[in-house]
Structure 1
Amino acid sequence: MTRELPIPPKPTEDRNFDDLADKFEKSIYGGLKGRLRLLVLERDLEALPGDAPARILDAGCGTAVFSAGFAARGREVVACDISETMLARARETFAREAPDAPVSLVCAPMQALTRAEYGGFDLILLHGVLEWMADPEAALDHALTLLNPGGGLSLLFYNRHGLVMRSLMLGNLDKVLRGYLKGWKKSLTPTHPQDPAWMLAWGEARGLTLIRHSGVRCFVDYACERTGHQMTEEDVIEAELMLGRQDPYRGIARYVHLLFKS
């Protein structure tokens, strides 16, 4: 059964999606883009050693489409988000996909959760979150305080290099040359797109073991309209899953997924 948890203080600078919930849900999980995202995540997380994680934190859960799959398999899930609107969508997702699962919802940033109050987790999901945070490094370090020994840390983030490539293809040279890659206020282009090399270096410096490194949408966003009509959705998925673990293709993917083990 779903229960509400205490509300710790909210941050002042991390992006809140109360004003973009409908657009977010449609753009992130709708259609081929959303299908690719979920397929890559599901494939990568199969690499976690041992039994499936018993206790999971979905940090910045949004609509909780991915973590609901764990809940449906009987895993305990704590889902947090600073957006009350998005958390309401998550509540609907869990009620539909895992009505009897042990799920807890908390309207708060992950940075406000402590091990003393919320316990430790075998798997922490930070999917599409870090690129919207004012201080991603501090958030990552805090996540480690909540991660159990041997636990998994799943990071899916908007790739700075993919954004540069897309901007160049659209002719936004001035934007690239000035290094101004932030999206407009009402857009879903993140405020802090991340560099995969920095993320990898962070994990190495913290003594984490990299288990998986994949790109999401390595080429499909760059295919011209004429080419797009010649590709079936299944063909695109097959090619994306193949190229997603190869350089240089994953280096220009719109999103990058890194799975670490503590």
Structure 2
Amino acid sequence: MSESVPPLSPAGDRHFDGLADKFASSLYGGARGELRLALLDHLLPEMLDLHRQPLLDVGGGLGQQAEWFAARGHAVTLAEPAGDMLDRARERLTGHEVSLLQAPLQALPELAPGPWSLIVCHAVLEWLADPRGALATLVGLLAPGGQLSLMVFNRDALRLSNVVKGNLEKALADRLEGKGLRKRLTPISPLTHGQIEAWSAENGLVIREVAGIRVFADYLRNPPDDDTDREQLLALEQRYCRVDPHWRLGRYLLYTLERPIRFSEEAAL
């Protein structure tokens, strides 16, 4: 990362200026990144009511998720604070109906107020200093009856992963957060299911669906090294990603949150 680009924003959030190449190789170029995208491809049509509605993709990064929705007929607005990430997304999304906006989540009430019937916010809250406040901001952008597809980095899975690796002291002390000061990609605010439940309730959101992303893969001693093993692992992940207790230890937790239409709102329609 260039020394001229501070790793943390003035709000204390971790942005990713200068890390587009690392994201492309580390997060999406390997087997785990491919598995994450394959599971989302499997789960999103099951967990969301999709009817080609316009959507806001918050922290859309390199544009993989925006491309997925655009290819299915959605008009997408992708918001991303890091300029080089947005440049990569622009290249990927050529030919698709996607509007690009360089902005952090906190600026969206002014720049993309909606209301939106569908918002996608995947792997963003864990990089923010105030994820609770960020969820409240997202709710303010959501139309009554609208859906929020939220994916967060699972703190409980991070603890188990550290135990499996032998980092017992770190796990016992619960020192799981990254500092956001180097190129390592450990989130600064990993979250628990309990936090999402509590914050959803206080914002009037209903949890309609929940799944774990990579409930087995990150704990394997030896990653699969041939197509047959990879196919079997994907089949296992698909079978158990929504089954309790397995989903609770997914590396990521994927939610469909809905803002209900209140009686007064229904009467006004």
The TM-score range, normalised by the shorter chain, is 0.7 to 0.9
CA distance in 1, matches of 2:117, 2:135: 15
Q: Please list every run of at least 4 consecutive aligned residues from structure 1 whose deviation after the TM superposition is greater than 3 angstroms.
A: 47-51, 115-118, 227-231
Equivalents in 1 of 2:111, 2:249: separation in Å?
Answer: 40
Distance 1:11 1:258, change over 3 A: farther
Match of 2:134 among 130, 136, 139: 139
Letter in structure 2 aligned against 1:260: L
CA offset at residue 229 of structure 1? Answer: 5.1
Label 1:171 to 1:210 Cα distance change in 2 as closer, same or farther (>3 A).
Answer: same
Aligned in 2, Cα 1:53/1:194: closer, same or farther, shift over 3 Å? Answer: farther
What amino acid is the match of 1:219? F
Q: 2:109 aligns with which of 85, 108, 114?
A: 114
Instruction: After TM superposition, give the deviation of residue 198 of structure 1 in Å.
Output: 1.1
Q: 1:224 aligns with which of 221, 228, 240?
A: 221
Question: Who is 2:65 aligned against?
Answer: 66
Looking at structure 1, the residues matched to 69 and 234 of structure 2 have their Cα atoms a distance apart, in angstroms, of 23
Does the 8 Å contact 2:123/2:153 carry over to 1?
yes
Instruction: Report Cα offsets for 1:115-174 as digits up to 9, x if no partner.
Output: 685422121111110100010011100101111121110111110011100111111112
Q: Counterparts of 1:106 and 1:228 in 2: how far apart (Å)?
A: 38
Matches within 5 A, 1:1-262: 11-47=10-46, 51-95=50-94, 99-101=95-97, 103-114=98-109, 118-183=113-178, 185-225=182-222, 228=224, 232-262=229-259
Q: Which runs of 5+ in 1 are unaligned?
A: 1-9
Q: Deviations over 1:213-234 (max 9, x none)?
A: 1111111111112x74586111
Contact 1:78 1:104 in 2 (8 A): yes
CA contact (8 A) 1:111 1:139 kept: yes
Counterpart residue identity of residue 133, structure 2: A
Secondary structure class of the residue paired with 1:108: coil
Q: What's the CA shift for 1:212?
A: 1.6
State the distance in 1 between where 2:146 and 2:136 align: 14
Is the contact between residue 224 and residue 230 of structure 2 (CA under 8 Å) also seen in structure 1? Answer: no
Aligned partners of 2:39, 2:202: CA distance in 1, in Å?
26
Deviation sequence 1:41-69 (CA, Å, 0-9, x none): 23333246655241111111100101112
RMSD: 2.1
> How far apart, CA to CA, are the structure 1 residues paired with 2:49 and 2:171?
44
Q: Which has the larger displacement, 50-59 or 120-129?
A: 50-59
- 1:2-25 deviation digits (Å, cap 9, x = unpaired): xxxxxxxx7532111113221112
Q: Which runs of 5 or more structure 2 residues have no equivalent in the other structure?
A: 1-8, 260-269
Verify the 8 A CA contact 1:47 1:211 in the aligned structure 2. no
Take 1:92 and 1:61, find their aligned partners in 2: how far apart are those partners?
14
Question: Letter of the aligned partner of 2:17 in structure 1?
Answer: D
CA contact (8 A) 1:11 1:109 kept: no
Quick one: distance in 2 between partners of 1:48 and 1:251? 17
Distance 1:156 1:48, change over 3 A: closer
> What's the % identity of the aligned pairs?
39
Give TM-score, length-normalised by structure 1. Answer: 0.87
**In structure 2, what is the Cα distance between the partners aligned to 1:72 and 1:61?**
15
The alpha-carbon deviation at position 77 of structure 1 amounts to 1.0
1-side partners of 2:49 and 2:110: how far apart?
A: 23
Distance change (3 Å), C-alpha of 1:223 and 1:48: closer
Q: Distance in 1 between matches of 2:217 and 2:47?
A: 28
Q: Secondary structure at the match of 2:39?
A: helix
